[in-house]
Amino acid sequence: MISLAVTFVCRFSYLGDGGFQVEHESLEARAAFLYDRKRLLQRFAWFEHVTLPAIRYQTDPNFTFLLMTGDSLPDWALEKLRALLADVPQAVIMQLPPMRHRDACHQAMTDLAPIEGATHYALTRLDDDDAVALDYVERLRLDFGPDLQRFWARNRMLALDYTRGMVLEQGADDGAPLDPRIMQLATAGLALIFGPHRRADLFRFAHHKLAGRMTVLSQEDDVMFVRGVHGQNDSNASGQRGLPWEIVEIDLDETLIARFAIERANLAAALKAAELS
């Protein structure tokens, strides 16, 4: 009998070697950048008001939310993380020492306890300023039926790519305009399915090169992800816009609430408070 375990991996200001587009001269310089109080407060604003709502209210609560951070994260920030995740029973906070970014991610996944009885693992990289739809976990289990299981069996790996989403961008006035987009292989709408023996391999694959490594099934029938864009995006998300999708009798704010439980006004207020701190 098929049993699909679902795991989200979220990195929150992990201090390591690599994994950043912006280079730093030393680990100390990177720590000063990552742990700047105003920067962390801005990250918390996105994490609390964009990422967490749909994690907290998933229609299928049977999943794991692995939050990976550094063992030198300031105490006040670690306590805030713990407080934000106190009512998320699926959350596991894992602190790691500085090491190569890919090695750290693999170590965190290896150290995470396996799910008893799981025959397959669906793994999603979720940045701390992105969001998945409220029914993302439910949808993964629905889609991974007998037909897709046969696709998976060919190479014992498969990617499910949900391409319809929205870009939520921080404006100059701390507002957050919405831009509906079709984006292929955006991490928040992408699940990699492996067998139990490869459950730690999520970060072994560059998400934008997956089409050359495994079968990728793309679907765009529903709005499945939100991509946060702001001045701190390390992945150059502002330059990765994909294509627009036509809005027909859709209220984007209502969609944002109905699909992701995100209130733009709450995000804007938190960002403004962080800026004034």
pLDDT tens profile 163-187: 999 999 876 555 567 899 999 999 9
Mean pLDDT along residues 77-83: 98
Cβ of 27: how many Cβ atoms within 10 Å?
Answer: 13
The answer to whether the CB of 102 falls within 8 A of the CB of 127 is: no
Residue with tokens 């709450």: 266
In this predicted structure, what is the pLDDT of residue 236?
46
Please state, in angstroms and rounded to a whole number, the distance separating the CA atoms of residues 229 and 167: 7
Query: What residues are paired with 68 via a beta bridge?
Result: 11, 94
Please state, in angstroms and rounded to a whole number, the distance separating the CA atoms of residues 175 and 243: 23
Q: Output the average pLDDT for the chain.
A: 91
Q: Range of 41's domain?
A: 4-276
Q: pLDDT of 132-145, one tens digit each?
A: 999 999 999 999 99
Q: What's the chain's length in residues?
A: 277
Please state, in angstroms and rounded to a whole number, the distance separating the CA atoms of residues 170 and 35: 21
Cβ of 101: how many Cβ atoms within 10 Å?
Answer: 17
- The number of domains in the chain is 1
Query: What residues are paired with 67 via a beta bridge?
Result: 10, 93
CATH number of the structural domain spanning residue 169: 3.90.550
- What percentage of the chain has pLDDT greater than the value 70? 91
Please state, in angstroms and rounded to a whole number, the distance separating the CA atoms of residues 28 and 102: 20
In this predicted structure, what is the pLDDT of residue 165?
96
Cβ of 143: how many Cβ atoms within 10 Å?
Answer: 17
Q: Which helix (H) or strand (E) holds 54?
A: helix 52-56
